[in-house]
Structure 1
Amino acid sequence: MTPADSRATVDCARNETADRSAALLSVRQLVKTFPGRRTRTGRATPPVRAVDGVSFDVRAGETLGLVGESGCGKSTTGRMLVRLLEPTGGSVAFDGVDISHLGQRAMRPLRRSLQMIFQDPHSSLNPRQRVSRIIADPMLVQGIDAGAARRRAAELMEQVGLIPEHLDRYPHEFSGGQAQRIGIARALATQPRLIIADEPVSALDVSIQAQIVNLLERLQQEMGLAYVFIAHDLSVVKRVCDRVAVMYLGRIVEIGERNEVYTTPAHPYTRALLSAVPVPDPVVERARERIVLQGDPPSPAEPPSGCTFHPRCFKARDICRTDQPLLRITGRGEREVACHFPETESV
């Protein structure tokens, strides 16, 4: 494919998604199905629908939190947003361009504006490369001169709170928090507009978590960044996010403005998650209702019929076992909930 063909492909995708140009990132009915595998006995396991029809928008300068239990599809969704995984269905539009199936050459110029921070800082950094090369690599791929890339890497080291003189060290010479700062510097190298942060503080000590969260907030204010913040720590999400999307078994069951979701959760699953978040006030903590869900999350290879949450839901009715609820606006504002009997309505 020639450069002219690449530009034509991007222009075509841009025209097809012009109606979604108001959002920096627009996700519609995103699906990811992993094929089954054959066991030693020759039996084929069923395919796994890890992400099942996820839709949301992210505006410029906004932080959207993506939360849920382990295995709900958060990280798979994040990897599809930056095309580290190919979607099985649905679409992802970035800045008005449908990037769901763009070729590598057409996708390359868009990667300047779309970057990712990974969960484990050390496993995401090449142990054989010096920090200078790790941070400079995205710039070199984009055609920036090696000398300019190294100077920019030194600036980024200082911007994330590290000493530029340490550029020639290897990743194993840094602590977990320092290694994550290097990962953040690498993500900032091409001056992105949107960063997918996949549980960026879950592998760090609590004191270091606060430092990284403060760093991400400062960088957002200075650079006008938008984040998709993937996490299971609801306290951190409440601190950094403007809106929150709650996932369960590959689907979004509630999405809305942060304070509304945290103050008056509408989905029973959201309510159960928030009841597990400890409160530092012992008097308030003792008076709180604690919701304990029964059983384990079902397998995404064999999801229940109807509402996938109904086997564990304390409000389940007959309709929940047969009809899958769709996201619909409930309460005030723009909050959407996929529940037949949301908490904002009487049963």
Structure 2
Amino acid sequence: MTTPLLRVRDLTMTFPGRRARSAPVRAVDGVSFEVATGETLGLVGESGCGKSTTGRMIVRLLQPTSGSVEFGGRDIGRLSQRALKPLRTELQMVFQDPHSSLNPRQTVARIISDPLIVQGAAVAEARRRAAELMELVGLIPEHIDRYPHEFSGGQAQRIGIARALATSPRLVVADEPVSALDVSVQAQIVNLMERLQRELGLSYLFIAHDLSVIKRVCDRVAVMYLGRIVEIGAKEHLYTAPAHPYTRALLSAVPLPDPAAERTRERITLLGDPPSPAAPPPGCTFHPRCPKARDICRTEAPALRIAAAGEARQVACHFPESG
């Protein structure tokens, strides 16, 4: 078997409480997955489940509390910033809100070329590369000396993508890259990212809460709930026969384009709100909202294991659906 490009093992992130005596918050609790070269893995779940925190730990914008992040066969989770610097050329991130992630006081030329200059490129060469990248992502190179506020949201996100591509990365962590955009613009950005993946051989960790977008762009999908992965596998299996009750509930909320099918479909309504990560329930963290919960679910946390014989899909549930 070939070594995956990215291997995450038992990744955990605990934040201290906001007040002196408040309980710490375990935002990510033992997350494990792999991303192969050229693959797109989708990471989905409700707001606050730990998706973005996981992405930021992978690119080392956050230091993990525990666990390991192996990139290209090398554990980068504990590297110093100095040792991590050359690896940042291969590992980049696209953020959710394009305008808040771009410096309003810098021109597009400076924004895109900065990663290259930090890595030692000459200013003139970095500017030439920035112009090439603008054209690659569908922007007019002559606008290179404009500022972010002079661009629309979709154009600004293209700038963010160009900045991420400046150092020719192998893996891009896309943190909800289309959720802040209009639907028509979302489709344009998704098409752009798919084209760039084909042309440049990129791998993506695509973080989103929109299951329709995830189905379009991803090869495999990992579903997170309260800091843990509850199901992971090929999108064909996960969308046609979800095994975890939470995955089934998420998919039941996705609108169908056929009005007749939409009227007759089964809708699963979850009870209550997600528990606080500062005080997670014992056992399976989903059991207070699960329609299938039994006594064992309230006392014993299910392990992530193979859902069925002959499948690579894994599910963390004592009573997974068989089909």
Match of 1:120 in 2: 97
**Rounded Cα–Cα distance in structure 2 between residues aligned with 1:282 and 1:125:** 41
Letter of the structure 1 residue corresponding to residue 312 of structure 2? E
**Rounded Cα–Cα distance in structure 2 between residues aligned with 1:68 and 1:328:** 19
Alignment pair present for 1:337 and 2:318: no
**How much does 1:36 deviate?**
1.2
Alignment of 1:262-341 (within 5 A): 262-331=239-308, 332-341=310-319
Match of 2:6 in 1: 25
Alignment pair present for 1:261 and 2:261: no
Percent identity between the aligned chains? 76
**How much does 1:286 deviate?**
1.1
Match of 1:199 in 2: 176
**Rounded Cα–Cα distance in structure 2 between residues aligned with 1:262 and 1:269:** 12
Superposed CA offset, 1:107-141 (max 9, x none): 01100000000000000000000000000000001
**How much does 1:344 deviate?**
1.4
**Rounded Cα–Cα distance in structure 1 between residues aligned with 2:263 and 2:236:** 22
Alignment pair present for 1:35 and 2:12: no
**Rounded Cα–Cα distance in structure 1 between residues aligned with 2:147 and 2:194:** 27
- The alignment yields a C-alpha RMSD, in angstroms, of 1.0
Match of 2:204 in 1: 227
Alignment partner for residue 64 of structure 1, among 35, 41, 51? 41
Superposed CA offset, 1:47-96 (max 9, x none): 00000000000000000000000000000000000000000000000001
Letter of the structure 1 residue corresponding to residue 51 of structure 2? K
Alignment pair present for 1:250 and 2:227: yes
Which 5+ residue runs of structure 2 have no aligned equivalent?
none
Letter of the structure 2 residue corresponding to residue 311 of structure 1? P
Superposed CA offset, 1:256-300 (max 9, x none): 001100000000000000000000101111111000000000000
Alignment partner for residue 96 of structure 1, among 47, 62, 73? 73
Aligned residues: 322
**Contact map agreement 1:75 1:198 (CA 8 A) in 2:** yes
**How much does 1:21 deviate?**
7.0
Runs of 4+ in 1 over 4 A off after TM superposition: none
Match of 1:47 in 2: 24
TM-score (norm 1): 0.92
Match of 1:130 in 2: 107
Match of 1:148 in 2: 125
Match of 2:63 in 1: 86
TM-score (norm 2): 0.99
SS in 2 for 1:168: coil
Superposed CA offset, 1:171-216 (max 9, x none): 0000000000000000000000000000000000000000000000
SS in 2 for 1:37: coil
**Rounded Cα–Cα distance in structure 1 between residues aligned with 2:220 and 2:322:** 18
**Could you tell which deviates more after superposition, 324-333 or 76-85?**
324-333
**Rounded Cα–Cα distance in structure 2 between residues aligned with 1:314 and 1:156:** 50
Superposed CA offset, 1:7-52 (max 9, x none): xxxxxxxxxxxxx9701000000000001132xxxx6110000000
**Rounded Cα–Cα distance in structure 1 between residues aligned with 2:91 and 2:174:** 11
SS in 2 for 1:341: coil
**Rounded Cα–Cα distance in structure 2 between residues aligned with 1:268 and 1:166:** 49
SS in 2 for 1:64: strand
SS in 2 for 1:57: strand
**Rounded Cα–Cα distance in structure 2 between residues aligned with 1:310 and 1:303:** 11
**Rounded Cα–Cα distance in structure 1 between residues aligned with 2:250 and 2:78:** 35
**Rounded Cα–Cα distance in structure 1 between residues aligned with 2:115 and 2:240:** 41
